[in-house]
Amino acid sequence: MEKGGTHIEPDRITAVVEGYFRIPAVWIGAAPSDHTGELGINLGRQIALRTTLSCGIEAYAMRNGMFLFDFLKSSVGEVVRVPGYERPATLPHTPPRTHAVAGAKAEQISLLRAQIMNVHQACLISSEAIVKHRSAAMGFPVTAWSTVKSIGISQPVPYHDDVEDVHALARNVLEGKYAPAFVSRQRRIIEPEVVAHSFRTLDYILSLEGGQYVPIVEAAYQSACRSVELRFGESIAIGWTVCEQLISQEWKDLLAKNESARTEDRKMSRDRRKKLLGRDYTASVMVEMLELSGKLTGEIYKNLETTRKARNNWAHDMAVPSGRDVFACQLAIKELLSRKGIHLSLQSGFRGAGGAAWPLWIFQQVHGNDVPGFTSDPENA
């Protein structure tokens, strides 16, 4: 908008509602049927379950497997207003500080919201294991720019086309935007009680110690997702970071308990506390001390040591960890999180590397036996 030789940069506001469309796709409650006229984009407007979290977030599970979170009244991931200003026609120019600060905060909020979505995905798959005693495929993680966004829960989430957003493309195909014939009913059913449990778990994580476990749980989820894709090096690198954070918390808890048991004349000095929390006490040292003090079992100590060594080998030599190394890491994370009341049960299976192993007769039909480097005789291969 032009005004007297200047350009008006309008006030902006972050999305009130954000969420994600779960992939692999699911139905919440019940699958639709053709004769009821339920199939199509309108199904996404049907609310299967709704609840309000302690922090004020209103959480919605839509019947088509979309999960939406209304942040309007929330103290976590709150709605941010970025004030506009009159921008001069000449360039370059520096935006007002109020605009820049609010814009940076809006970006941080977007990242936090995406973390919350991935934490909920961890809660959802864990709830299936806890409530229904079954395993399921991990959901695909979302990013700040791939979450669905809306100005309000009463407004339908826009089914935009975005060639860079695989979540949007999958949602559009599965919901029949391009062709109704592509609408898939071959999705797993997730019961409302499973979703309700996932929302309660998310609520607990958000409320635990000021929300500081949100990035930790999200990182644990990302680590598990990498392991499912056989990206063991990335999985162990992220997983060990999670372990370090949880080990540090165990160490601080031990020091606090020790301090509270001391008499007044034996109180720790500030310098000693600083030393015990300083760089001299690495995660490796903390693990040794925690095990010697009986705070870690022999099994979790072994899993942490396996994880640490595998991570170091990957970081320094790019030596790919084994599946057992990654499994030990996931067990350590699961045990340490459970001590904080966070009970996760993430998938430990694999999607595979994606290489097709064709039946031999198909290969021979296409190429014959005279292909260089190929023989149908295993003994002469």
Confirm whether 359 is domain-assigned.
Answer: no
Question: Same domain, yes or no, for 201 and 243?
Answer: no
Token readout for 308 is: 């640490």
Total structural domains within the chain: 2
Is the residue at 236 inside a domain?
A: yes
Report pTM.
0.86
pLDDT for 162-202, tens place per residue?
777 888 888 888 877 777 666 677 789 999 999 999 999 99
**59 in the same domain as 129:** yes
pLDDT reading at 378 higher than 60: no
Question: Does 367 reside within a domain?
Answer: no
Longest dimension (CA), the chain: 87
Rounded to whole angstroms, the Cα distance separating 290 from 301 reads 9
pLDDT 10s digits, 281-337: 888 999 999 999 999 999 999 999 999 999 999 999 999 999 999 999 999 999 999
- Report angle CA 101, 102, 104 to the nearest 5 degrees: 65
Range(s) of the domain holding residue 70:
2-207
Q: Are residues 133 and 241 in the same domain?
A: no
Does some domain include residue 316? Answer: yes
The distance of Cα 111 from the centroid of its chain, to the nearest Å, equals 11
Cβ atoms of 219 and 297 within 8 Å: the answer is no
**Shared-domain flag, residues 46 and 182:** yes
Instruction: Show which of 143, 173, 207 is a domain's final residue.
Output: 207
Residue 196 neighbours by CB under 8 Å, 6+ apart: 49, 51
- State residue 46's pLDDT score: 87
User: Regarding beta strands 6-9 and 66-70, do their DSSP bridges make them parallel or antiparallel, or are they unpaired?
Assistant: unpaired
